[in-house]
Structure 1
Amino acid sequence: MLTYPEIDPVALAIGPLKIHWYGVMYLLAFASAWLIAMHRTKAPHALITKTQVENLITYGAFGVIIGGRVGYVVLYQFETWMNDPLWLFRVWEGGMSFHGGLIGVILAMLIYAHRIHKPYIALMDFIAPAVPLGLGFGRLGNFIGQELWGRVTDSRWGMIFPRDPSGLPRHPSQLYQAALEGLVLFIILFWFSRKPRPRGAVCGLFLVGYATFRFLVEFVREPDSHIGFDLLGWMTRGQLLSIPLFVLGVGLMVYAYWPTKTPDAVTASKNS
């Protein structure tokens, strides 16, 4: 059995000011996205310039935060929101959703692509490899905050979380997600995007990879207590929401590699 490392959720306290590790992980997520995007601008015929990366990350950050919060409220706590509409704005009480954050980023990139007059799908291809490490940092924040833990297990890597009232060993599913959705997906996308790919292939692979890893980890992640299983007695809300992402990702990959694609659409992807 693994021992949970006692980590103070407050990373730094200066008088009444407290900086939590979860906030630090968000900063690391945006910093990693900025560094990767800056690196990608060095490629020949890069889609955007270094000076445009700052605005790109700013738009993405707003999309993540606003979309993540709204998505969590609508997808996971809709009844709570209906009973207390102002709860949406009390972000300090916690609650963010990846699927909502993804929708927020999709909309933010749509606005930014229009602003800089760049092909939308090409911009999504450009930003996709910069996302996974941020997801990994977010899952580490969940682990430190002792939230979204896994299901009870008798395996040797089970872990007892001090804040878990059951006191039973559980899968440290936050670490599984940090490794798969974060590090592994980043390596795959970074390698895949090093060569010119047809437009839509990189962001399509991101959606397929994330949906696959999320669907698998949900088998060992504890379902939300107020939701339980949504379908067939075993499918969680996270799995249900990952299915359309997988379908959309496969659709983008098919679109990208469709044999009758015009040469212009393929060569234009070199700018992503």
Structure 2
Amino acid sequence: MPFFVDFDPVAFSLGPIAVHWYGIGYLIAFGAFWWLGERRRRAGFLPVGPTAFSDLAFYGMIGVILGGRLGYVLFYGTAELLRDPVSLIRIWEGGMSFHGGLIGVLLACWIWARRQRLHFFDVMDFVAPLVPIGIGVVRFANFTGGELWGRKTDSALGMIFPNAFDHAGRTLDELRVMAAAGQLDGEARHPSQLYEMALEGFVMFIVLFAVSMRPRRRFLVSGLFALMYGSFRFAVEFVREPDAQLGYLAWGWLTMGQVLSTPLILTGLVLIALSRRAPVLERRVVEDPPKAEST
């Protein structure tokens, strides 16, 4: 019998303020990035002090939020933006794009790297292994929120997402009874969020963390990140329901996610090729200078 997905998207409320699991997912993602990044900084993977790294984490957070929102509106919600330009700033209504967030992070890291006088790809090689944890957590939040579900399936992996079909006015309790009786088996869909959590989160983290444990040639880790994410996302899109406002872009199967992932695959291949003749960034531990005592 397919699992009926009906988690409460609201984790808890503080008066009139509802705290959603989706928002908690982003907080966990940012926290994991800082915690793991600081440990790796102390091990010499990035030659800057803790203050500079904290700035990098802050820049990255802003890049994710602004880039993710702008990317979603431009890639997936252009019609809504033209109809209601104010929708661009209504982040609380949801709608974030990974590809937009990636562009935001790239721009933020480029600005930070210039200020620190570091090679951009040395910074990105450091950042890449820190990102998959956040991707995995946010994908799980997508699952608990009952969004970004997959296409219909009769496989044993199928799950029922109440938001994916017309309830005809039925309550959740009524739908649960129907699901238990097998009356909703035809609405079962791939839990594509969990597929992405496993591939883009768990698998990418293990591979990138293992590869980056010892000094590697510049471009390699960044290239692996781009290649793996692009490939995994392209593959999962075959079982993920396309965005309703866009549908399939061509041939009855091509989605916007696949279009946006193709440049990542190509970029990853190019970076990996460039890494074969690139220098190796050796580990170097740097700490903030002691503060001068006031007299």
| Alignment TM-score, normalising by the size of structure 2 | 0.86
- 1:126-175 Cα distance to aligned partner (Å, 9 max, x none): 11000011011111111111110000000011001122225500001101
**Identity of matched residues, %:** 49
Where does 1:51-200 land on structure 2 (aligned, <5 Å)?
51-166=51-166, 168-200=187-219
Give the aligned partner of residue 279 of structure 2: 266
Unpaired stretches in structure 1, ≥5 consecutive residues: none
Q: Is the 8 A contact 1:136 1:182 kept in 2?
A: yes
Q: Which runs of 5+ in 2 are unaligned?
A: 167-183, 286-295
Matched residues in 2 for 1:46 and 1:163: separation? 44
1:214-229 alignment, distance < 5 Å? 214-229=233-248
State the secondary structure of the residue aligned to 1:185.
Answer: helix
Counterpart of 1:251 (choices 254, 267, 270) is 270
- The aligned counterpart of 2:6 is 6
Q: Name the CA distance, whole Å, in 2 between partners of 1:71 and 1:5.
A: 28
Letter in 2 for 1:84: D
Q: How high is the TM-score relative to the length of structure 1?
A: 0.93
For residues 96 and 8 of structure 1, what CA distance do their matches in structure 2 show? 20
Instruction: State the alpha-carbon separation in 2 of the partners of residues 146 and 45 from structure 1.
Output: 38
- The answer to whether the Cα contact below 8 Å between 1:208 and 1:245 also exists between their aligned partners in 2 is yes
Partners of 2:202 and 2:270 lie apart in 1 by 24
In 2, Cα distance between the equivalents of 1:127 and 1:116? 15
Deviations 1:166-186 (A, max 9, x none): 550000110110111011100
Inter-partner Cα distance in structure 1 for 2:83 and 2:8: 33
Q: Report how many aligned residue pairs link the two structures.
A: 266
Counterpart of 1:42 in structure 2 is 42
How far the C-alpha of 1:226 sits from its partner, in A, is 1.6
> 46-55 or 108-117: which moved more?
46-55
Alpha-carbon distance between aligned partners in 2 of 1:192 and 1:211, rounded to the nearest angstrom: 18
In the TM superposition, residue 83 of structure 1 has moved relative to its aligned partner by 1.6
CA contact (8 A) 2:128 2:225 kept: yes
Measured at CA, do residues 57 and 44 of structure 1 come closer, stay the same or move farther in structure 2, by a change above 3 Å?
A: closer
1:36 Cα deviation from its structure 2 partner: 1.6
Could you say what secondary structure the match of 1:12 adopts? strand
Q: Which one has a bigger Cα radius of gyration?
A: 2
